Structure 1
Amino acid sequence: MRTRKPVGLIAATSLGLLAACGSDGSDSGSGSGSEVQLTVSSFLTEDHPASRGFEAWMEEVTERTDGAVTFETFYNGSLCGAADSIACAEDRTADIVMSVPAYNPEMTLANIGSVAFQTSDLQANQDALNKLYQDNEDYRAEYENRGLTMLYTFNNSMPVLASVEPVSSLDQIAGMSLRASGSMSTGIAALGANPVAIDPAEIYESLERGVVDGATFPLESVVDYRLTEVAPHVYDLGEYMGSYAMNAYTMNLDAFESLSEDQQAVVREVSEEIAGSYVEEFLVPTMEENCSALAETGTTVERLGPDEVGQAWAERAGDAQRAAWEESAAELTDAPAMFDAYLSNIEEASTGEAPTTAEICAGV
């Protein structure tokens, strides 16, 4: 497994949960500790890049603990649904869950990653958030106070619009009813669209029956849910919106603390490595596969303009979303300072190379 320079997830937290690893990245000598099987729940498919990344995570953890830590995994929401994931980790229905802060608006600080229009550099964005979790005590406490610890946060691909009918410009989105959640809802509302909250499992039927005109999703979800069968016109919104929805693998704190210190160190070590390579190793290759799959059915991912409309949209909606998040977080932390630290982390981690979804698909 190739790894990028890590962002430093392994650092001491207020509960002393994170163990520092050797600077050479060698095995922690972590065979010590009793055997344990952890239950993992995801509402995603097994082929989703997030699932592929976590399969690699589980394999590495098992190997580096000499087989002492193993996993039983449930996909497709068979154990916990999307909106229930955090609660499932809290009550330990599952030891580890794939969670989405946007589906849990009470996770106010975690939803800083749901503020869109900040960057199109997906790896820099998730590196910035993982570092923010390391550095900001209030952010960590939001998880710890619920008996949770975040393993790592990671990006979806940038959003696309899957539409039943062709769309020729951003202006044409005004008046459309579109499935959206989280910051995507306020984002498309700023274009005059009508956002509709629909559970992911019900979107296909909603499009087929004309309940909505289209759905906004990352590309991998459009393919996973086979949405182009009923909404065959796909457009790149991420060129202007950038990263808009972060996910996190989240672990029950008691389950984490039940591991030996060596096993805990391995969990943090592997989390850092997967987070640091996720976009290159898992997300972009899956996007390329999805682009190819769509192309085989005659579907391409198209740009939407004009640029002046998109740029004005990004500035207007980005400022509004930041202001709304800061207002919601004002009683929990120094919200402006936290957001400034987040933007500083993005700038520090950015490589300047951030192809759009349309560009990635065009290169396949």
Structure 2
Amino acid sequence: MKSLIIAAVATLCIAVAPAVAADTVDGPEVNWKLSLWGKPRAFTAGIDKFSELVSERTGGRFKIEVVYGGQLASPRENLDGLQIGAFESAVLAAAFHPGKMPLSLGLDLPFLPVPDLETRQKVVEAYFAHPAMKEELKNLGVRHLYTVLAPQFEFMGGGEPPETLDDWNGKRVRALAGIGEAMAILGAVPISISPTEVYTGLERGTVDAASFPFSYAHGAYGLHEISNWYTSNLNPGVTHAQLLVSLGAYGALPEQYRKVLEEVKAEAYAFNIQAMADADAKWIPLFKEAGLKDVTYTDEERQQWIDSAAKPVWTNWLKEGADAGKPSQELLDLILTTAKQ
């Protein structure tokens, strides 16, 4: 009996072995560096998972090393670093390069009707699959790999809380792209600084408030330590961050590794979404415990703002795109129809 069991187990191992081997993609040794600012946090969870999955699927032969703290380049220099070949991949926001990535900013328009992160995943993947988006990135010498899925941004700051939307008049706010334009309509003064500069700005009083999602920034950057209020239902929009790769590095990959980059995205996105939910569950109660005032607005106030901000900001972006011969209306329609579906 014992010999029969051993034989059966051996047979099973032989039968299973080819399937296991098929899961590991063979290929040459490839080592990429990925430039990213700050420290590991919910924002970076999907990026770290992406890197981990690529290594697992290739048996460690294709490695993407995530280099934190802006050691390779600052957030605003990541595009330059990709273009000169200083590193192979990087996370960056189009809002840092508005003149170079105007179509990418379509995703950052305020008040886009994207209700949750699962929908956002479908929207960004459809958006970057559009030929015009591929062309914009190709002209910059880069390619889209993955988008960090972020919840709606909210503000946190010091000084007098903005109890009404009129109270934003004159406040200096860290707000980029479409969110900044929407806040300007309220009379706020948008300031474009990188995430790692915000704490110092709030501490010194050069910035009154900053827009980030709770789940990966306000708490992770310690802004609650020097703030006394936050908004919880402003929901002005999102400033997206993309994981991009230089065309040179991507072109040098064997075809099987390129397939791996596509195959791991779904699992990385799922990990990203869960990390954001876990971070919200952690940080929001801590903000309340710290005594920060939760500022909310009525539906009527928000709708008035949406009516006054969304249309002119969207119209301006559409006009700039049309004047440049770009299919901006087609891209906005793509966002709206994908989100609705």
TM-score normalized by structure 1?
Answer: 0.81
Residues in 1 aligned to 2:206 and 2:248: alpha-carbon distance in whole angstroms = 43
Q: Deviations over 1:283-341 (max 9, x none)?
A: 222222222433443336x2421321211111221112211211222224222122112
CA contact (8 A) 1:28 1:262 kept: no
Which digits, 9 at most, give the CA deviation of each residue in 1:46-97, with x for residues without a partner? Answer: 12x2311111111111111111111222112121111111221222212110
Instruction: Find 2:170's aligned residue among 175, 182, 197.
Output: 175
Match of 1:192?
187
Q: How far apart are the structure 2 equivalents of 1:32 and 1:212?
A: 51
Contact 1:44–1:76 (Cα < 8 Å) also in 2: yes
| Structure 1 residues 22-33: aligned runs within 5 Å | 29=23, 31-33=25-27
Q: In structure 2, do the counterparts of structure 1 residues 279 and 60 end up closer, same or farther at CA, with 3 Å as the change threshold?
A: closer
Structure 2 residue runs of 5 or longer lacking an equivalent are 1-19
| Contact preservation (8 Å) 1:98, 1:247 | yes
Counterparts of 1:338 and 1:308 in 2: how far apart (Å)? 29
Residue 315 of structure 1 corresponds to 307
Distance in 2 (CA, whole Å) between partners of 1:261 and 1:285 is 36
Deviations 1:111-158 (A, max 9, x none): 111101012423212321211222x11111111222211002233221
User: Which of 301, 315, 325 is equivalent to 2:317?
Assistant: 325
Instruction: Between 287-296 and 243-252, report the one with greater CA deviation.
Output: 287-296
Report deviation, 1:344.
Answer: 0.5
Shift of the 50–227 alpha-carbon distance from structure 1 to 2, 3 Å rule, reads: closer
For residues 76 and 164 of structure 1, do their structure 2 counterparts lie closer, same or farther at Cα, with a shift above 3 Å needed? same
- Structure 2 CA distance for aligned equivalents of residues 98 and 87 of structure 1: 12
> 2-side partners of 1:334 and 1:70: how far apart?
37
Q: Is the 8 A contact 2:106 2:331 kept in 1?
A: no
Return closer, same or farther for 1:296/1:79 CA change in 2, 3 Å cut-off. Answer: farther
Deviation per CA, 1:224-257: give whole Å up to 9, x if none. 2211222221112543x2x321111101112112
Instruction: Give identity over the alignment, percent.
Output: 23
- Once residues 97 and 27 of structure 1 are traced to their aligned partners in structure 2, the CA distance between those partners, rounded to angstroms, is 31
In structure 2, relative to structure 1, the CA distance for the partners of 1:251 and 1:161 (3 Å cut) is same
Residue from 64, 83, 100 that aligns with 2:93: 100
Q: TM-score when scaled to structure 2? A: 0.86
Between structure 1 and structure 2, the one with the greater Rg is 2
Number of aligned residues = 317
**Matching residue's letter, 2:172:** S
- 1:70 maps to which residue? 63
Q: Does 1:234 align with 2:230?
A: yes
1:55 to 23, 48, 51: 48
Which residue of 193, 207, 212 maps to 2:202? 207
Task: Tell me which of 72, 80, 84 is aligned to 1:87.
Answer: 80
Structure 2 vs 1, CA of residues 103 and 341 (structure 1 numbering), >3 Å: closer, same or farther?
Answer: same
Counterpart amino acid of 1:343? L
Residue 265 of structure 2: which of 257, 261, 271 is its match? 271
Q: Looking at both structures, which has the greater relative contact order when contacts are Cα pairs under 8 Å and sequence separation is at least 6?
A: 1
- Give SS of 1:33's match: coil
1:275-354 correspondence runs (5 A):
275=269, 277=270, 280-299=273-292, 302-330=294-322, 331-348=324-341
CA distance in 2, matches of 1:132, 1:194: 30
Identify the residue that residue 16 of structure 2 maps to in structure 1. none
In the other structure, the counterpart of 1:218 is 213
Amino acid at match of 1:187: A
Structure 1 residues 339-348 or 175-184, which shifts more?
175-184
Q: Give, in whole Å, the separation in 1 of the partners of 2:268 and 2:22.
A: 16
* Aligned alpha-carbon RMSD (Å): 2.1
Match of 1:262 in 2: 256
More deviation, 61-70/334-343:
334-343
Alignment match of 1:113 (pick from 101, 107, 123): 107
Gaps of 5+ in 1: 1-25, 349-364
Could you report, residue by residue, the CA deviation over 1:153-201 in whole angstroms, capped at 9, with x for unpaired residues?
Answer: 2332212111212332222112222222222211111112122233333
